[in-house]
Amino acid sequence: MSKYDGTAPVAVTVDLVIFTLRRSALHLLLIERGKGPFLGELALPGGFVRDDEDLRQAALRELGEETGVDGTRLHLEQLRTFGTPGRDPRVRTFTVAYLALGPDLPNPVAGTDAAHARWMPVQDALTCGLAFDHAAILQEGLHRARAKLEYTTVAAAFCQEPFTLAELRHVYEVVWDLDLDPSNFRRKVLKADDFVIPTGEYRAPEVGRPAELYRRGRAEMLFPPMVRA
């Protein structure tokens, strides 16, 4: 007989889909499992939610432990909860997946929890085989990130401040894997209310005319939305 009262042994974890932009490609943080099932395989960083923690707190803590980065400065949102029976062979486990986006994040530091973590291009991660149902979680995270660029301002979360409009455009081009017209992109971004704020400063690229630098504006929604061809 099934248990109806929630007293059956269950575990609750958070798993993180952490994206960053490195060397013109979208990268994902993966860890190599050091114990338990799927030992030695690649997996999303994550862990058990503690007794006294909120879900978001748990995600922020794992983010810090795995990347060494102060997660409070990253974009972090809940993705979806996965709980299909058998997804963890040990015990019924529900995992609350989070999506984190950040500018070119540092390499994991040796000698910490993050020692077994590394960045991998998302295209590779999609096909290399991940532990548990993490491939499905990654798929969903990628889909969410792509969709959110359209109608929100999260693209700026991938940029280190201050940034140029070319860098911001580059985010769209990499995540969507297409080219955008620089002229039309500029017009759209500058017309949108409070997407970016000009600093009046300029930065010279390796070659070509210096570009003006911007910071993130307060707007979270982008209207009208950016459209994918």
Partner DNA sequence: TCAATAGTGTCTATGAGACAGTATGGT
Partner DNA sequence: ACCATACTGTCTCATAGACACTATTGA
- What minimum distance in Å lies between the beta carbon of 191 and DNA? 6
Determine, following the binding rule CB under 8 A, whether residue 35 of this chain makes contact with a copy of itself.
no
Determine, following the binding rule CB under 7 A, whether residue 208 of this chain makes contact with DNA.
yes
How far is the C-alpha of 194 from the C-alpha of 219, rounded, in Å?
A: 5
Determine, following the binding rule CB under 8 A, whether residue 33 of this chain makes contact with a copy of itself.
no
Determine, following the binding rule CB under 7 A, whether residue 197 of this chain makes contact with DNA.
no
Determine, following the binding rule CB under 7 A, whether residue 191 of this chain makes contact with DNA.
yes
- What minimum distance in Å lies between the beta carbon of 73 and DNA? 25
Applying CB under 7 A, the site for DNA has a residue count of 23
Compose the 132-171 pattern: x for residues touching DNA by CB under 7 A, - for all others.
--------------------------------xxx-----
Count of alpha carbons within 13 Å of 61, Cβ hemisphere only? 13
Residue of 30, 135, 134, 140 lying closest to 80 (CA atoms): 140
Determine, following the binding rule CB under 8 A, whether residue 50 of this chain makes contact with a copy of itself.
yes
Query: Could you say which of 11, 115, 178, 190 contacts a copy of itself (CB under 8 A)?
Result: 11
Determine, following the binding rule CB under 8 A, whether residue 200 of this chain makes contact with a copy of itself.
no
Whether the CA torsion 80, 83, 86, 89 is positive or negative: it is: positive
> Alpha-carbon dihedral of residues 56, 59, 63, 64, nearest 10 degrees?
60
- Under 8 Å between Cβ of 103 and 157: yes
Q: What is the 3-state secondary structure (H, E, C) of 6-66?
A: CCCCEEEEEEEEEEEEECCEEEEEEEECCCCCCCCCEECCEEECCCCCCHHHHHHHHHHHH
Which tokens belong to 200?
């009046």
- Under 8 Å between Cβ of 68 and 115: no
Query: Could you say which of 3, 35, 90, 209 contacts DNA (CB under 7 A)?
Result: 209
Determine, following the binding rule CB under 8 A, whether residue 2 of this chain makes contact with a copy of itself.
yes
The residue (of 19 and 214) whose beta carbon lies closer to DNA is: 214
Determine, following the binding rule CB under 7 A, whether residue 200 of this chain makes contact with DNA.
no
Write the CB contacts of 133 (distance below 8 Å, at least 6 apart in sequence).
Answer: 82, 84, 87
Query: Could you say which of 9, 72, 204, 218 contacts DNA (CB under 7 A)?
Result: 204
How far is the C-alpha of 193 from the C-alpha of 221, rounded, in Å?
A: 9
**Residue ranges in contact with a copy of itself by CB under 8 A:** 2-13, 47-55, 78, 80-85, 91-94, 96, 151, 225
**Residue ranges in contact with DNA by CB under 7 A:** 164-166, 181-184, 186-188, 191, 202, 204-205, 207-212, 224, 227, 229
